Amino acid sequence: MFSRAIVRRPGRSMIKGITTAGLGQPDYELALQQHDAYIEALESCGLVVTVMQAEEDYPDAMFVEDTAFVMPRCAIVTRPGAESRRGETGSIRKQLESFYQDVEIIESPGMVDAGDIMMVGEQVYIGLSERTNQAGADQMIEYLRKYGYRGSTIAISEGLHFKSSISYLEHNRIVVTGELCGKPELAHFEAIVIDAADAYSANSVWINDYVLVPAGYANTSWEIAESGYEVIELNVSEFQKLDGGLSCLSLRF
């Protein structure tokens, strides 16, 4: 169960965020409304939400998920793969130190975006992507060991992050799409397989048996609801324009 979340307000500079989506420039006012609804949804799942101030110097800073990996026994501040995002971690570290006794840090030459990391109980899967390298994964696995967790890597070639194509819904169940569907490392999970056309919705978020699903993916919502979860649909179109999904907008612990 999670009890807390950390989010960061989008800044006006978000219109300069990194993107490959080709969906146009985000509308800042609409992004704020969508962010408000996101916070409300986290609260309705029972979380106490800490809302950090916008950081105008960092256009992607509302995608807090990438800047730290948070677990019950420790937090690990990452070294994001995109250079323009590295400065986001200072304030995240401070914030996490108010909640955690143990906060570890990934150092150069390691690069890690925590959007590449999925936790399944005590086992942590780390996607090796353009944002997360072997050196970063090695440091991460070392820290995980220190706190009694296990880490392993999976190479990916599609999507921005590992979790762009997969979400863990607890109860040994995943939502999965694309190249990850056939991965032997994931074969033991019960899988809800998402068509390529709905791939964006493979990034859904389990919170205390609610699941946040991006609005507009009726099949995904239906399948997840059929599996016994309470689905909350959220429109995050303005963040999708920056390659961001639902999970990227918060740290949950």
By beta-carbon proximity to ligand CIR, the closer residue of 155 and 225 is 155
Question: Does 55 help bind ligand CIR (rule: CB under 6 A)?
Answer: no
CA-only gyration radius of the chain, Å? 17
C-beta of 155: minimal distance to ligand CIR in Å?
A: 18
By beta-carbon proximity to ligand CIR, the closer residue of 160 and 211 is 160
C-beta of 217: minimal distance to ligand CIR in Å?
A: 16
Question: Does 79 help bind ligand CIR (rule: CB under 6 A)?
Answer: no
Q: At 74, list the tokens.
A: 């420790």
- Check if 74 is active-site: no
Question: Does 65 help bind ligand CIR (rule: CB under 6 A)?
Answer: yes
Question: Does 112 help bind ligand CIR (rule: CB under 6 A)?
Answer: no
- One residue of 15, 37, 82, 128 binding ligand CIR per CB under 6 A: 82
C-beta of 228: minimal distance to ligand CIR in Å?
A: 26
By beta-carbon proximity to ligand CIR, the closer residue of 110 and 115 is 115
By beta-carbon proximity to ligand CIR, the closer residue of 41 and 111 is 111
Residue given tokens 């950081």 in the structure block: 55
Q: At 37, list the tokens.
A: 């609804």
Which residues belong to the active site? Answer: 161, 248
